[in-house]
Amino acid sequence: MAEQESLEFGKADFVLMDAVTMPEFMANLRLRFEKGRIYTFIGEVVVSMNPYKNLNIYGRDTIEQYRGRELYERPPHLFAIADAAYKAMKRRSKDTCIVISGESGAGKTEASKYIMQYIAAITNPGQRAEVERVKNILLKSNCVLEAFGNAKTNRNDNSSRFGKYMDINFDFKGDPIGGHINNYLLEKSRVIVQQPGERSFHSFYQLLQGGSEQLLRSLHLQKDASAYSYICPGAQLKCSINDGAEFKAVADAMKVIGFKQEEIQTVYKIVAAILHLGNLKFSVDGDTPIIENSKAVSVIADLLSTKAELVEKALLFRTVATGRDVIDKQHTEQEATYGRDAFAKAIYERLFCWIVTHINDVIEVKNYDTTVHGKNTVIGVLDIYGFEIFDNNSFEQFCINYCNEKLQQLFIQLVLKQEQEEYQREGIPWKHIDYFNNQVIVDLVEQQHKGIIAILDDACMNVGKVTDEMFLEALNNKLGKHAHFSSRKLCATDKTLEFDRDFRIKHYAGDVIYSVTGFIDKNKDTLFQDFKRLMYNSSNPVLKMMWPEGKLSITEVTKRPLTAATLFKNSMIALVDNLALKEPYYVRCIKPNDKKSPQLFDEERCRHQVEYLGLLENVRVRRAGFAYRQTYEKFLHRYKMISEFTWPNHDLPSDKDAVRKLIECHGFQHDVAYGKTKLFIRTPRTLFTLEELHAKMLVRIVLFLQKVWRGTLARLRYRRTKAALAIVRHYRRHKVRAYLREVVRRFQGVRLLPDRGRSIPWPAPPKVLRRFEEALQDIYHRWRAAELIRSVPPEALPQLRAKVAAMELLKGHRADIGLQRAWQGNYIALKPDSPQSSGSFTPVANELKRKDKYMNILFSCHVRKVNRFNKVEDRAIFITDRHLYKMDPMKQYKVMKTIPLYNGEARSARHGHQPGAVQPARQEMHRLCGDQDQPIPTGFHQAPLRLRPLRAGQLTAPPLAPGLGSPSPHLGLTGIHREMLSCDLSGA
């Protein structure tokens, strides 16, 4: 049970009381209220006290504390009952409902909102957009329906003046996918008149206080509510509802739900039109009825999108069909006032029903196929008006209290009577508990031909003038001997009843005196057909939709409509039948006092509610009974995995024997009873233990199923992979063979072709042979190159090798390196009359040959040097097989520097070198050209380091090979490597 709460807060469950007596019950209720514990269990029923203040017990952290917990694992709370209903729906795929009952002002509407909030919070873990949309609309609908259906009463500032039952539909995963709202008996008489200290519906005050100046101007309204007759009595009353803020919240909620802007504007126009209707005043000019403030008629016509003359005619005349003739009958002043008020009530009721229908159209489950999406389960939440006893109780209070009688009867049937009958049916020992069965009161109201509603309908259908007094007389005649009915005529000494006006019914919640004044008119709910045709012919499509019966002609004969009381009775019977098909959970709301005080606990007031709610009898039934019962088949279906005797299937004679074996092997036999078809478990603790065992075993079963399934999937994947590999292997073999055959075919006889097959396109290889293709092409290119080289004359081979070496080294540095012509090498000797020279080059070359003993001249050309100071000078480069010479052509090719092409001692000291100095060729190249700070390109300066003394005809210095080309006239780089790289080889 709820053991988490200390005893200083009283008993968290009334079932735990030491003695089941009214004084102890009230003492525990008072203690918990004073300690701020407003919720208490009676088994699976939650008793809720209205705290009349905000409590911080509904946040996200509190929701997480109750999420997925069993009912008694946490302290009593609305969230516990909401979670229990949700789990029952999800685990057993069973429709459930939460019935919230109690007096007006006991906190039923707030309870329903918190339950909706909880269900919205714990669903949709995947954050699906459609589910979020449905949840948001379900929550926002409360705000809109409260604005148009709730009002301030003497008992409650936000009293529901209509009944609401909401079904929330869930998919097989437990996520909300839609819903449906049923509304019952809107108290539309509140539109035109309110009891002292009360207000009309919130929507009127919200529009006046929250609407912008522009909006009010367009509706011809002013902010002062006292200017309008219908709502004037409540204009100055204090109310905890912030009308201005609520107006904005309602407008935003309507947009979220899906109301179009023009539809929202129509809603405002209808509310404004009702306010203007209330200000119409009628008088009689002779025999002709007139409207004193006719300007208001034009305003009303504009708001209702019709013509002023049609509105005026509907208010002052009634069209009557007499045979084939149609005449306009004038209203008296009284009839015109009655017609105006009936029209105002009817148009507001139609507006409210249209809003509910619009919300249902948005949230209703569409295109749901149970064979595809799984079973569609439902949680119902009933928030309906509570039992009411006012100073003046009329037709509305009669219907409301009848509704509460029906709900109380359902509670008695499902919780008390059904419980006791089930024990007797199952053969479980049981001590009978007396309780008040209010079926007799329900029959008094709804029994056919004999009930109050049947007598009222008969009075309304009689031809001629039937008065309320005649209706009361009929009640006296037919119900005079009923124990729960009385009137002044039947009890002449009872001065609390007025002659020809009052009758009393002894309800389960107490005696209520009803005034028959207005019963006939309210039951007939007469609205002249002229108003229906007026609205049907409106140019506003929303208004036209609200009045479909207006299309009937005045001469068409229609069936007499059902009376208001009969319609309400039928809806209540359907509601109770619907609830009886679901697994019920109850919230019983109690108001601690009538002064809305968070500190005051009115003992007498609370005792009265405890008595008529039957809470003490409920405690007695729970104390004597069992906390849980389930059929043997369903019990086994859920818990058979926790016993080796029942998993996966048992071999015992019956399910009952299997359940007995399961219970005994876990040691629960002392806490259960075996019925004929069901197992009964006395304490929740046993159920909790069973659930824990079930949860632990479920993990093992899931792991086992996952293991088996994964093994199956692995074997399937292995077989598929093995087959795929065989296919791939054979396919690859086929592709390789096809490729090789194609290569052989294309290159057949390639040796005989002039280009040795260079123009033959290679076939596209399969992916597996790409590297093989590269190797094959490399072999082919080597063979083709060998074939081409074999055709070259032997004397041309040295120059060919030089060109190849030059191409490798100068690749990327020169666009053209003269491969298409013969290289001459000694270009200065070929052009002795070059403008850079001032003497003959040949004698100088011969002299150097005599001195340095070189055998071959490798290269010579004129170059232009740009030194570090950007000064341009003409130079000549002369390369033999032993040395590289830098010369000045302007001084008869005077040698300026000599560089040996191998490592060793320098031959000449007259060029600035000390004898014995050894300089690498690379460094000498830099110094030769005065370019020590800039490195020589890799492809150039590495080659001289490989030079060796040359023999005749030998070529081992590729970049300095004969015929590198004539010098370029435009040298933009400094150093010999730049001079070499810029040589013009375009003609080579």
CA distances for 804 relative to 621, 953, 958, angstroms: 111, 17, 8
Please name the residues in contact with 26: beta carbons below 8 A apart, sequence gap of 6 or more.
603, 606, 607, 610
Q: Which of 435, 436, 455 is nearest to 444 (CA)?
A: 455
Q: Is 759 annotated as a binding residue?
A: no
Annotated active-site residue in 48, 50, 124, 160: 160
Q: How far is CA 39 from CA 266, 380, 387, 620, 660, in A?
A: 43, 21, 21, 19, 37
Q: 10, 105, 451, 939: which one is catalytic? A: 105
Q: 900 phi and psi, to 5 degrees?
A: -70, 145
Which SS3 state, helix, strand or coil, does residue 577 take?
helix
105 part of the active site: yes
Beta pairing, strands 502-507 & 485-487: antiparallel
CA distances from 100 to 110, 155, 584, 622 (A): 10, 18, 10, 19
Residue 386 a catalytic site member = yes
Active site residue 335: no
Rounded to whole angstroms, the Cα distance separating 817 from 964 reads: 8
DSSP run (H or E) holding 329: strand 325-330
- Do β-strands 377-383 and 96-102 pair in parallel, antiparallel, or remain unpaired? parallel
- Options 124, 159, 183, 404, the catalytic residue: 159
Q: What interhelical angle do 129-149 and 243-257 show, nearest 10?
A: 140
596 φ/ψ sector (left φ>0, alpha ψ -120 to 50, else beta)? left
Amino acid at 271: V
- Written as six digits, the tokens of 870 are 């950007």
Contact 813, 937 (CB under 8 A): yes
**Whose CA is closest to 244, among 294, 208, 216, 293?**
208
Residues 6+ apart with CB under 8 A from 7: none
Alpha-carbon span 411 to 241, nearest angstrom: 33
Closest CA to 266 of 529, 555, 487, 541: 541
Nearest to 813 by CA among 959, 955, 982, 668: 982
- Tokens encoding 583: 């697994």
Any known ligand binding at 106?
yes
Interhelix angle 108-122/129-149, nearest 10 degrees: 170
The question of whether 593 is a catalytic residue gets the answer no
CB atoms < 10 A from the CB of 435, how many?
A: 17
DSSP calls for 753-813: STTTTTTSPPPPPPGGGHHHHHHHHHHHHHHHHHHHHHTS-GGGHHHHHHHHHHHHHHTTT
Tell me if 107 is assigned to a ligand binding site.
yes
The C-alpha atoms of residue 480 and residue 470 are separated, in whole angstroms, by 15
Per DSSP, 527 falls in state: -
Cis peptide before 962 (omega within 30 of 0): no
Query: Which helix H or strand E contains 284, and what residues bound it?
Result: strand 282-285
Q: Binding residue per annotation — 103?
A: yes
CB 65 within 8 A of CB 74: yes
Check if 394 is active-site: no
Is 156 an active-site residue?
A: yes
The reply to whether 803 sits in an annotated binding site is no
Catalytic residue among 28, 48, 96, 104: 104
Residue position matching structure tokens 């002659």: 499
- Catalytic entry in 386, 757, 939, 963: 386
**Per DSSP, what are the bridge partners of residue 456?**
none
Find out whether 153 and 385 touch, Cβ atoms under 8 Å: no
> First and final CA of the chain: distance in angstroms?
106
Do the Cβ atoms of 865 and 875 come closer than 8 Å?
A: yes
**842 given a catalytic annotation:** no
Burial class (CB in 10 A: 0-12, 13-18, 19+), 445: buried
Catalytic residue among 101, 109, 486, 974: 109
Residue 102 among known ligand-binding residues: yes
Which residue do the tokens 């010479």 mark?
885
Q: What's the rounded Cα separation, in Å, for the pair 190 and 199?
A: 8
- Catalytic-role residue among 44, 110, 349, 388: 388
**CA 141, CA 958: separation in Å to the nearest integer?**
92
Of the residues 28, 48, 101, 156, only one is catalytic, namely: 156
What are the residue numbers of the active site?
A: 104-105, 109, 156, 159-160, 386, 388
Binding residues for ATP: 102-109
Binding residues: 102-109
